[in-house]
Structure 1
Amino acid sequence: MGLFWFWWVGLSAIYFNLNYLVPVIALIMGLVYGVLFRICFLFKFDFLRLCAIFALSFIHPLGFDWLEWGIYTTYGFFDSSLRGIICLFLIAYFIYEGYISRYYKIAIVLILFFTGFHYEEKTATTLPFSYKLINTNISQDQKFLQEKLILNSNTLLSEISRAILEKKELVILPETAFAFNLQGTKYEEFLKELSHKIIIITGAFYTKDEKTYNSTYVFRQGKSYIFNKHFLVPFGEEIPFFKELVKKYFLPNMEEFTRGPVQSQYKLNDVLITNAICYEATKEQNYKNSKIIIALSNNAWFKHSSEYKLQKLLMQFYANKYGVSVYHATNGKENAVILPKKRLDLRWLEEIKSWNKSLFES
């Protein structure tokens, strides 16, 4: 399961000239989760095995918490909560078990279904002004080339100008849209000037005291505000252990990022916004005290993989669970506006009524 769910993790090694590590990393992911599932199988009783498998979602190697069973409640009838997940697991258990009679099994499954049912629709706070999400499609091997920086940056300025002509109040660009330290550059001055006409949120690097951050810049009324990423990707943005060994043999040119505050929030027109950069948008901690999240991602690291779909499922699950709206601007994949899910049974009833109405009218 680890192999099929997380095979894409090693794709980023391609852009560090470590192509040979792609299958090795995929194999390591498969072995790690294979061992964990094997440990679960060591329990004698099926119910204990089920409990052990359920507990795997609480094990986060190097902080990597993308094995989340809650994504199975992202869509459908079950509530995106611990209650919904537990009921889903128990239904699978009782359907599998053969020692219970058919009628008892049906009764138990129905009880669990209605116990885990999604009854409460959460209403999320949404952005109170017009906005535009800018989507870019710059390949990772081209993104940081010096000869491409000016061209790409000028294209972004054109997109912002287009949003102004469209009378938008806010424009949101992806992670590291400006792929350099933006502070003190002519582009920062351009963005400050444009911010008198539109609020601009964009990703870029930020350097201070010889430390580099992966950051979100917010430009408003001629001023800039910087919010730095806290949750860094292991071996992509930071080296969590064996630093000297890894830098010597694998990543000699890698510049590590420095962590920012655990959670960065800011206000736009008295609306509190939580900042999230890529990996951070899948962290449950960022959803617990948030109403609106503006997330910036660069998914070109994992192009032609299932990474983006899994990222979106996780964001949808946490949006459902906590009643949060997410505005997601990306490079390499499509943008998304994610809101808590609606009750599926009510949606079906509305569609049936609409179908009946059109049938009788015809």
Structure 2
Amino acid sequence: MRVFILAILNGVLLYLPFSRYELWFLIFPALLMLLANPNHRHYFLAGFTFFFISLECVNIASIQYGGVNPFLAYALFSIFALFLTFYQMNLPLMLWKKLSHSLWTLPLFYSLFEVIRSYLPYGGFPWLVLGEISTYIPIAKYSLRFFTVYGESLLMWYVAYFLFKRKVVPLLFLLMLVFLTGLYAKHTLLKELSSAVSIKVALVQTAIPQEDKLTEKEFRKHTKEILSLVRSALKEKPDLVVLPESAFPFFFSDEFDKDRNEFFELSFQAPLLVGLIDIREGLKPYNSAYLIKDGQLVGYYDKIRLLPIGEYVPFPFAFLKDVFSAIAGIDYTPGKTWKPITYRNIRLATPICFEVAYWDLVRKLSKEANLIVVLTNDGWFNNSDCTHQHFTWARVRALENAKFVLWVNNSGDTAVIDPSGKVLKKIPYMKRGILVYDIKLMDP
């Protein structure tokens, strides 16, 4: 019983830094407990507790909005949590015992599997990566620019390892390395900010209840008020107006839709960036970001990394479409273009929703961009830990790429995040409104 309780406590300590409570400092006692108990039973119980509590919020989407029977939803979710536990906790431990058995190498195996898990299988699941926690640590957070979220994971593990082994000199050396790297990154950032050009942005939080977005008729009822919000935003004379993912019920290319044409008319006053669904090339649906100015398309980005089950059903799980009506229909088509959307001096990297969690995708998109804009809709998860975890990735990407991030969410929180990961201004969850702010374009 003592072993069982200790492992469960370890899992809870792993969860709390990722929760909305932001108790980031608890990650170190959590890692110390893993180092002190490198056995499969402890790792399994701790890992399952961690993944189950952290991700339990995904059941909101399947039960409340997908109409899945709660018993079936939690049964499938438990299988998913078991898979993650084995993949991230027990498989690294198994290989460690077989190939090394030296405790100092255990962090290497865990961090390696964080990377592998982020891409395999089916595009991976880059979520609950330990390095995310560094966004809360003063000075150290700036070192994300050089070490990335995966490097930060390894550094945090070794801080815990040196504490566990009571190796003061290596610990001080490691802390000094992170501190000096963070100071250098902060100094470089301040220098870049001083010469950056400012623009005014207006972000629109549509706050359409998720249940209304599920049917075209109910969704359409909100369109007039959203168009009115855009008009209010335009009165502020912004250089860019941004709306979230799937902001309207009409297709981008539906030239016979009255609301769509009214929205296009508003673009004569300022460029409008909006997330919309469109059907092209016959019956291929795309989830895209479009920049419109003077009634014309300036540029667009098609979502590249689609969400398994949510946006497409991978092989061999096609049978699930017959079981769950919420995922029936045609799969979305992935985009192929990695370049930013450009208008005058504004070059926009526009990862959509879950894509913000992919380090390589955001880095590649933002390489030639001077502003990162994430269009999303977290209404599927209500105001839960999942929504908070998603938002944390925006802060990570701001620090890694040393750029402002505009987080534009249907449900909230819509926010402006500066290159130091600081949330400068935001709109509370499910409050319909606009956020106007002067930000800076950070050249690569």
Give the TM-score category using the shorter length: 0.7 to 0.9
Q: Which of the numbers 205, 230, 238 marks the counterpart of 2:277?
A: 205
For the 8 Å contact 2:399–2:421, the answer to whether it is kept is: no
Q: Mapping of 1:1-362 within 5 angstroms?
A: 1-14=50-63, 15-20=65-70, 21-36=72-87, 37-42=89-94, 43=97, 44-60=101-117, 61-63=121-123, 64-76=125-137, 77-78=139-140, 79-80=143-144, 81-82=147-148, 84-97=152-165, 100=166, 105-117=167-179, 118-119=182-183, 120-121=185-186, 122-123=188-189, 128-183=198-253, 184=255, 185-208=257-280, 209-224=282-297, 225-251=299-325, 253-284=328-359, 285-288=361-364, 289=367, 290-341=369-420
User: Aligned letter for 2:301?
Assistant: F
Q: CA separation of 1:215/1:165 partners in 2, compared to 1, >3 Å: closer, same or farther?
A: same
Partner SS state of residue 205, structure 2? coil
Shift of 1:336: 1.6
User: Aligned letter for 1:151?
Assistant: K
The whole-number CA distance in structure 2 between the counterparts of 1:255 and 1:180 is 17
The whole-number CA distance in structure 1 between the counterparts of 2:53 and 2:66 is 23
Per-residue Cα deviation, 1:251-284 (whole angstroms, up to 9, x for no partner): 4733321111242421122221112211122221
Per-residue Cα deviation, 1:100-134 (whole angstroms, up to 9, x for no partner): 5xxxx232221110112212125377774211111
For the 8 Å contact 1:2–1:29, the answer to whether it is kept is: no
Looking at secondary structure, tell me which structure has more helix per residue.
Answer: 2
Per-residue Cα deviation, 1:284-307 (whole angstroms, up to 9, x for no partner): 122241431111100001113211
* TM-score in terms of structure 2 length: 0.70
For the 8 Å contact 2:200–2:240, the answer to whether it is kept is: yes
Partner SS state of residue 292, structure 2? strand
The whole-number CA distance in structure 2 between the counterparts of 1:163 and 1:150 is 20
Per-residue Cα deviation, 1:215-250 (whole angstroms, up to 9, x for no partner): 222210121244321111100001111254122223
Q: CA separation of 1:342/1:68 partners in 2, compared to 1, >3 Å: closer, same or farther?
A: closer
Q: CA separation of 1:309/1:262 partners in 2, compared to 1, >3 Å: closer, same or farther?
A: farther
* TM-score in terms of structure 1 length: 0.85
For the 8 Å contact 1:134–1:159, the answer to whether it is kept is: yes
Per-residue Cα deviation, 1:169-227 (whole angstroms, up to 9, x for no partner): 32111110103323222222212211111211111111112111112222101212443
The whole-number CA distance in structure 2 between the counterparts of 1:307 and 1:332 is 13
Please, what is the CA RMSD of the aligned residues?
2.3
Q: How many residues align?
A: 337
Question: Which has the higher mean CA deviation after the structures are superposed, 44-53 or 148-157?
Answer: 44-53
For the 8 Å contact 1:127–1:292, the answer to whether it is kept is: no
Deviation above 4 Å: which 4+ runs of structure 1? Answer: 124-127
For the 8 Å contact 1:296–1:329, the answer to whether it is kept is: yes
Partner SS state of residue 295, structure 1? strand
For the 8 Å contact 2:362–2:397, the answer to whether it is kept is: no
Partner SS state of residue 279, structure 2? strand
The whole-number CA distance in structure 1 between the counterparts of 2:154 and 2:417 is 24
User: Aligned letter for 1:254?
Assistant: G
Per-residue Cα deviation, 1:56-115 (whole angstroms, up to 9, x for no partner): 211234222114222021121322125544332211001112xx5xxxx23222111011
Question: Which has the higher mean CA deviation after the structures are superposed, 76-85 or 269-278?
Answer: 76-85
The whole-number CA distance in structure 1 between the counterparts of 2:378 and 2:411 is 5
Shift of 1:140: 1.4
Partner SS state of residue 201, structure 1? strand
The whole-number CA distance in structure 2 between the counterparts of 1:201 and 1:112 is 43
User: Aligned letter for 2:133?
Assistant: Y
Shift of 1:342: 7.6
% identical equivalent positions:
24
The whole-number CA distance in structure 1 between the counterparts of 2:421 and 2:392 is 15
Q: CA separation of 1:219/1:113 partners in 2, compared to 1, >3 Å: closer, same or farther?
A: same
